[in-house]
Structure formats: C-alpha cells, structure tokens
A and B are shown apart, each in its own frame.
Chain A
Amino acid sequence: MTISTPLHIQPIETYKNERAIPFCPGCGHTLILRHLDAALLKLQIDPTQVVLVSDIGCVGLSDQYFATNAFHGLHGRSAAYATGIKLANPDLHVIVLMGDGGMGIGGTHVINAARRNIGVTVLVFNNFNFGMTGGEHSVTTPEGYITASTRAGNPEQPLDICATVAVNGAGYVYRGTSFDKDLPDRMAEAIAYDGFALLDIWELCTAYFAPNNDFGRKEMMAMLDALGMETGLIQQRPLAEYARRMQTMAERARDQAVMPVHDIEPQFEHRLRDKFHLVIAGSAGAKVRSAAKAAGYAAVLSGLWATQRDDYPTTVKSGHSVSELIFSPDEIRYTGIAKPDALVLLSADGLNKVRGHLARMTEQDVLITTPEFADVETAAHKIMLDPRQADVRITRTNRSLMVLSAALRVLNIFPIAALEEAVRRFQSRFAHENLPVIAASAKLVGD
C-alpha cells in the first residue's frame, strides 16, 4: 500500500482534535485512542484520506475526538459501512473502531470483510462487557465472570475473535492489550497493510467489568493466560485486496455496451384483429418460459404488442410453470388473463394449474395438447399434437418449444419464420439447438 503523501509541509503533530476524551478514569478506550493517534503520526497520512468508522457503545463516541473524517453508524454495522466506503474509494484509509458488543451483533460483517479481504483495519476495543448500557455480558465475556446480566457467573464460552477472522481469510491478525507499549507500531503496521487487518485489544472497563470481578491489569493478563488464546501477531500474509480486484475487473469490462436497447422493427405480418390470450402450461425445468419468450419476441417482430406473465412455485426444477401471453394489435395495459383463447397444455403439473381456465373455456376456444391429455374435460375445441411424429429426438427441455411451435403453426397468428427469427436474434446461444426443433414441429401438424 502506498501511503498518501501529506499535503502539509510541516509534519502533522496530532490527529486528535482539542476535545477532551470523555471516558471513565482508567478506561482502556482512552489508552487505545492515544495509541491510534501515535500510529497515525507514524504514518503521517493526510487526514482527509482517513475515515474512522464507529458504531454503538462507549467506543462509538471515539470518532468525535479526531481531526479526520468520521462515520458514526448503527450498532455492529461499522465493518459493513467501512466495506462500502472502501469499495467506493479504494485509496482511503478506513479504520473501524468497534467494541465487543458490536462484534456480537455485527460479527457477520467482520467475518465477511475478512473473508473478502476488504482493505480496512478493525480495532476491537474488547472490555468483555457492554459499558454503555450498564455492564451486561458480551460475546467475549469469559465463562464464570460476573456482569449485570450474569450475576451468578457467565455460563457462556467467549468468542475467539482473532481465531475466527484468521481462519476465515484475514491477512493481518493481532491480539494484545491496551497496555502494550508496541501497540502504535502494530496499529501502524495494520493500517499500512493492504488488506483486511484486525487487532483484538483487551482492556479494562473501570465502570463495570473491573469492579464486578475485582479485575485489574494483572487479572486481565492472568485471564489471557488461562484462556489460552493466541497473542501477539497471529497472522500476516499477502493477499489480493478486494477493492483493487474490483478495480481490475472494471478495467477489463470498461467500454462494453451498457444495456443497449434491443429495438425491434416489425418484419413479418400478423393476422390478429383483436387481443389474443395464449396460455402455456407445463412443468418447471422444461423451458416453458423461454419457449413462451421466443413466441413473445416473434409477435413483436410481427408488429404486435406482447406481454408475458409467468407463474411458478419457488422451487426451480419441480412443479408447474405457466406462462400467460397476450398478443394484441394495440397497446396492452392489463396483463392478466381471465380466459385463454388458446391453451397449450404440456404436462400434468401444468394441468393442475389451469383447471379453472379449462372450465371457463368455450367451444370458441382451443386446447392444444398431446395425446396423453386427450380426455381432459373442457368445452374448448381440442387439437392433439404428437411430438413423437417429429424427426428429432424429443427431450424434456425441447418438448415445450416443439409443441408450442406446432401450436403456433396451427394458430397462424404470425408466420413461423417470425419465431425462427426471434430465436436467432434473442436466444442466439441456443439457436443451433432450437431452430431444428421449430423446423421439426412441422411434422406434428401434418405439413
């Protein structure tokens, strides 16, 4: 990482502003913020290029005491804001100031920032309890310790923050205490590290955790030993930083056309005088919607207005798939279909969804289906098409297009050449498979 050259000719003497840090006497937060100032002084970064991101809890007040940019957000979400800040401007030095409370409610953002290797520095002000709300236990309170919400001793195991982020991709991981003399050096190292860095800094809450547990510096060191969590520099390795990777991707994609309008000039004649409602009822996974979409494009290529409304369950390749198409010489507003003029029935899944339509259809309407549904009850005129007559191999996925193509030949709303052109122009990836299917559908209608 290149550290931005300071704009100032004089070296910066402090990154603090003149406001007095307001924490309780002996609170670890004051010490850590002093170390942060020292770390920034070592690096001499332009303060306009530093963003301190805090969230909620006593530590959330901290950003107000620095002469840098500041973002004070919602409880535990600081790593997610920091991710957005870094992605929008990868040159920024983004430093997250969060507590063990924030780690509990927003740990997922920290883990995911580590996993992605977002180039932010996370300082965890870890004092094993919620100071601001009255000393309740947090995810880092060790077992047995007394807090406002664990008066009989904490029954929970503490979260090992460093191990968690280290195993999930963090490039720089350090654990220490607010008393460590070399903390400014470690912080400066972390801020200069081009990737995700986290420092878990253990410290005293002199308002609650310390008095509740007769806990001081000596006891904290003993607790650290007893828990057996790793200390010092736990992990440091070079990894590609995410925001830079995104920049490289953008450079590769730059100047490609951005969602151009695929305009369609009518090139075929249609034979409709009124609105025509066509329902295609089949099974999910059988390409019902893409076959219907080709028909819609074909209609528009023939000078018609078209709409397509799909109905399917939340599963992907099981259950029904019903597409409702409207073709009209005039603009279509309402896209629902009360009763189809034609219904193409492809499967039992589809049949279950269109029984209402079949009951409403009259002898003016037409049901186009395959021989296995010959006995379906409806007043509609029935036309049977047998895909087995085609001279191509019928599969689950080409059967929908096969029967729909044959149906469109029967209905003769627009020429079949319009469907072929639609497939060539708008579904070109599959055209080599689908054009022979459309051609073969001629056999089903006997020409």
Chain B
Amino acid sequence: MTREYIDGASAIARGALKAGCNFFAGYPISPATPILLHMLRELPKVGGVGIQAEDEISAISMCIGAAMSGASAMTATSGPGISLYSENIGLAIMGEVPLVIVDVMRMGPATGGATTAAQGDIQFVRWGTSGGYPIVALAPSSVAECYTLAQRAFDIAERLRTPVFLLPDKEMVMSMATVDVAEYEDIEVGKRPLVPAPRAGNGSGVKINAVTGRPDPRLRPEETYLPYDFDPIDAIPATSPFGGPHITRFTTSSHDEHGFLTKDPVKVGRLNDHLRLKIENRRHELEFGRLERHEDAKTLFISYGTTARAMREAVERSHESGEPASGLTLHTLWPVPENLILAAAEGHERVVVAELNHGQYRREIERLLYKHAAQNRQAPPEILGLNRVDGELITPEQFLEMTP
C-alpha cells in the first residue's frame, strides 16, 4: 500500500489547486498560516496569483474582486480573522460570489489560544454576517478529506455562486498523519454558469438576451444580459467576469435584475427569497457524511472534524466491548444534513453529540430530532452532549463512557 506522510494544510492547498484555484489572498494567523504559505509558493506555478494582504478585510476583499473577474478564489484564516471577514461574507452572499473560506478553528473567544485546538466557530460561521442567509460549511475529519472537501468546497462555491466554508481545526491542519494514497478522492469540480457571447439583434429593435437567446425588452442599451435574473427563483444566475464580452454589474446593496439599487418591495423580497432558496432547495445535494451503523447499537455518536477521529476509534472499540455504538461523521455542517441525521438516528435510543465547544451543533441535532419526533408523535431519543473546551481533545474513552 502506498502512503504519504503529510499535514492537513498541505492537503487543503493541494485539493484547492486540483480544483482549479488560481487566486489566494490571506493574512498570517496561526494556525492558518501554513495554507497561506503553500498557496503563495504554488500559485505562480499554475499561472495564478497569491498575495499576502495588509489585513483580513483586504484579504477577503481582494478574493471577491478576483472572483468577479473570473478567478477561482480561496482565503484562509482563523476565528479572529473571520470576525474581520464578516461584513464581506455578507457581500459575497449578496453579490453571489463563488469563494472558498477556510476557517482553521482555534481556541476562542477573541484571540483565545492561537495554537490550541477547538471547534468553537460552528454557529459563528452560520450566523456571522448581518441579515442571516444560508451558508454552506464542510468539515474534514482526516487529511485525505481535507484534500477532497477542498475540491468539494470549490465545486459548491462555483456551481451555487456562494461563499463556502471549509472548517478544519488546528489539529487537522498542523498535525502530520499517514494517508493511504488511494483515499485521495478527486471529484469533478463544476464552474459557475457563464453567459454565452452576445447575440446580434434580429432586426425587431428588441435586444437579444445572451442567456435566453430570446428578445428581451427589459435589456437596457448597454446590456446584453441581466446579471441578477433568476427564473425560477432558486436558479443560479449566469454571470460574466469583468473583462469578458459583457458589461457586468455587481453590488452589495439590495438590487434589481440589472444590478441597480432598488427599494421596490417586490424585487427586494424576491431577491432575498432567491438567496435563501438557492441553497435551501439544494440541501439534498449537499448532504455529506459517513455513517458507521451497528445493528445492535442503542447509542449513536455524532461528531465532525478532529473529534470524529476519536469517535471512530471509540465505535471500533465499542464493538469489541459488547456495548456497540454507531457513529455518524458529518462532513456537511451547513446546511444541516437533515436526511442523513434522521436516517442515522433511526433506531437509536440515545444520541451523543461530541464537539470541542459548549454544544453548538447539539442545538441543531436537538431541533431536528425533537421536531421530527413531535411531527411523528414519537418519543425522541435522549440527546446528550460530549463537550470539551480546555484545549485538549475528546478521547475515545470519553465516548465509551457515554454508552449506557
């Protein structure tokens, strides 16, 4: 068996480059700096651009500018940097910018522990910008998954024109691990829908919309397509990069189909529904995880990231102990992979949600399983948290203590 000895930072950078990433801007911060250094070194080799920005606000701003000029862009930071990204994350959602944001989680709050593992940013990345729109977040739990989920993040960011978070933690990014090379899975990475070249008019005096190929009386004199036209409402609007064959408008403000500012309640309402529905209506395409189910198990462990590694060891050991447990490793955290979780919970009396925070994702599991039980007039499983916020990892023994 061919193996590699490598850390998660290298795997994320390699996955991003495999996915076609050709722009990176970042600002040094532990424990995300190794990703910055890899990207600065590697991007010139693929004709891309990597730059160390003057601050985090600039880093994400540069990525957004580059992305709208056609680049596949990524940035990487840690919790304190996400705080500074916050306003521009909202802009990326509003303007529908394909962008991969790596948040290498470290101990918080505030500067917390720069070189200490934690998983405290789960709800922060979900709700960390004003207005509150859906976001996509993926969490790798092995070095091989760092490689694959980096590609997955680009695929989703591009196809859905949205910022996507990759949420590893300090342990995942900075620890060395042995990888079976066969586990590096490549996926087909899609691209944002692009507007075809402009069409000549058909003599009717009404301009041809390059997207639909049909005469479109809504087109203004300088326009050859409508940058924010979505029909049906959850469709991903086709775009054209700055410098492409079309004139493109981009805006952070409530806008109409032309990209002009508007306060028209019908248009503003439709825009905001669009931003929500384009993710929500694709939830089923975004459910990634791994279930290890034992048919006699009464307990289901649910975890993600580094903590899921201890969980998987505990699940293996539980089978030898006579008190078998099942384990669900979540690769998608947002949107909540509801079908995956409901199917996994089925038949278990107890669900233990393990994470290096005070129970941020347990809220989602409780919400989902209690609601499901209420709707089906069933008793919900007992839902327990296994939490640690002292800089140490949750151990396999701690998992095993949670079985009855």
A interface, CB within 8 angstroms of B: 17-18, 47-49, 51, 53, 61, 63-64, 67-74, 77, 80-89, 91-92, 108-109, 112, 243, 246, 249-250, 252-259, 261-265, 293, 296-297, 300, 304-314, 331-336, 338, 426
**B62 with A89: CB separation less than 8 A:** no
Q: Is the CB of B249 within 8 A of A259?
A: no
From B55, which residue of chain A is reached at the shortest CB distance?
A: A108
Q: List 24 A-B contacts (CB under 8 A).
A: A18-B221, A47-B247, A69-B243, A73-B64, A80-B57, A82-B65, A84-B71, A88-B23, A88-B49, A89-B70, A89-B242, A112-B58, A243-B49, A259-B38, A264-B4, A264-B5, A305-B178, A306-B5, A310-B175, A332-B177, A334-B313, A335-B175, A335-B393, A336-B395
Distance of A356 from chain B, by nearest CB (Å): 11
Say whether, besides A74-B87, A77-B57, A334-B313, A88 and B395 are in contact (CB < 8 Å): no
CB distance from A369 to the nearest CB of B (A): 24
Nearest CB in chain A: distance from B309 CB, A:
4
Q: In the complex, are the beta carbons of A258 and B42 less than 8 A apart? A: yes
Within 8 Å of chain A (Cβ to Cβ): is B318?
A: no
Who on chain A is nearest to B393 by CB?
A: A336
> In residues 287-337 of chain B, which contact A (Cβ within 8 Å)?
306, 309-310, 312-313, 316
Name the segment of B9-17, B277-285, B340-348 touching the other chain.
Answer: B9-17
Number of A-B residue pairs with CB-CB distance less than 8 Å in the complex they form:
233
A92-B242, A333-B309 known; 9 new pairs, CB 8 Å cut-off, are: A47-B222, A80-B58, A87-B49, A89-B242, A246-B44, A265-B2, A306-B176, A312-B115, A334-B396
Within the assembled complex, what's the spacing in Å between the Cα atoms of A265 and B3?
A: 7
Which of the residues B5, B69, B114, B260 comes within 8 Å of A297, measured between beta carbons? Answer: B5
Chain A contacts for B23, CB-based, 8 A = 84, 87-88
Looking at B156-164, B208-216, B250-258, B375-383, the stretch in contact with chain A turns out to be B250-258
- Please give me the 3 A-B residue pairs with the lowest Cβ-Cβ distance, nearest first: A84-B65, A80-B61, A84-B62
A253 to B61, CA, bound (A): 26
Q: For residue A53, which residue of chain B has the nearest CB?
A: B65
Q: Which residues on the A side are within 8 Å of B245 (C-beta)?
A: 48
Are A88 and B71 neighbours in the complex by a CB distance under 8 Å? yes
Contacts of A312 in B (CB 8 A): 115
Residue with the highest number of chain B CB atoms closer than 10 Å, among A63, A77, A308, A310: A77
Closest residue on chain A to residue B57 by CB atoms: A77
Q: Of all chain B residues, which has the CB nearest A305?
A: B178
A335 to B220, CA, bound (A): 60
A249 to B67, CA, bound (A): 21
**Is B61 touching A70 in the complex (CB atoms < 8 A)?**
no
B181 near A261 with CB under 8 A, answer yes
> Are A335 and B65 within 8 A (Cβ)?
no
- The answer for the CA separation of A250 and B42 in the assembled complex, in Å, is 10
CB distance from B314 to the nearest CB of A (A): 8
Query: Smallest Cβ distance from B72 to chain A, in angstroms?
Result: 10
Report whether B246 and A48 are in contact in the complex, using a CB–CB cutoff of 8 Å: yes
Q: Which residues does chain A contribute within 8 Å of B397, judged by CB atoms?
A: 338
Type the 1/0 row for B100-121, where 1 means its CB is closer than 8 Å to any CB of A.
0000000000000011000000
**Please, how many angstroms separate the alpha-carbon atoms of A257 and B30 in the complex?**
27
Query: Is B392 on the interface with A (CB-CB < 8 A)?
Result: yes
Q: Select from chain B the residue with minimum beta-carbon distance to A83.
A: B62
Within 8 A of A (CB), among B179-212: 180-181, 184
Contact partners of A256 in chain B: CB under 8 A: 45
Q: What is the minimal beta-carbon distance from A419 to any residue of chain B, in angstroms?
A: 13
> Complex: how many Å from CA A28 to CA B143?
57
Instruction: Kindly state the separation between the CA atoms of A83 and B260 in the bound complex, as whole angstroms.
Output: 23
B30 CB contacts on chain A under 8 angstroms: 314
From residue B63, how far is it (CB to closest CB) to chain A in Å? 6
Whether B64 pairs with A258 at a CB distance below 8 angstroms is no
Interface centre among A48, A246, A304, A308, by most chain B C-beta atoms within 10 angstroms, is A48
The yes or no answer to B174 lying at the interface (CB within 8 A) is: yes
Residues from chain A with a CB closer than 8 A to the CB of B68 are 71, 85
With both beta carbons as reference points, the residue of chain B lying nearest to A60 in the complex is identified as: B253
* B269 contacts A by Cβ under 8 Å: no
Complex alpha-carbon distance, A71 and B227, angstroms: 12
Query: In this assembly, does B248 line the interface, its C-beta being within 8 Å of a C-beta of chain A?
Result: yes
With a cutoff of 8 Å between Cβ atoms, the chain B residues found around residue A70 in the complex are 248-251, 259
Minimum C-beta distance from A294 to chain B (A): 10
Distance of A71 Cα from B92 Cα, bound (Å): 12
Quote the shortest CB–CB distance from B1 to chain A (angstroms). 8
B404 within 8 A of partner (CB): no
| Contact call B247/A263, Cβ cutoff below 8 A | no
Partner pick for A72 among B6, B14, B67, B251, CB 8 A cutoff: B251
Query: Which residue, A255, A263, A426, has most C-beta atoms of chain B within 10 A?
Result: A263
Smallest beta-carbon distance B308→chain A, Å: 8
Q: Which residue of B lies closest to A338 (CB)?
A: B395
**Which residues of the partner chain A approach B69 to less than 8 Å between Cβ atoms?**
51, 84-85, 88-89, 92
- When chains A and B are docked, how far (Å) is the Cα of A202 from the Cα of B340? 60
> Does chain A have a CB within 8 A of B46?
yes
Interface residue? B37 (CB, 8 A): no
CB closest residue in chain B, given A256: B45
Contact assessment for A83 and B176 in the assembled complex, using a CB-CB cutoff below 8 Å: no
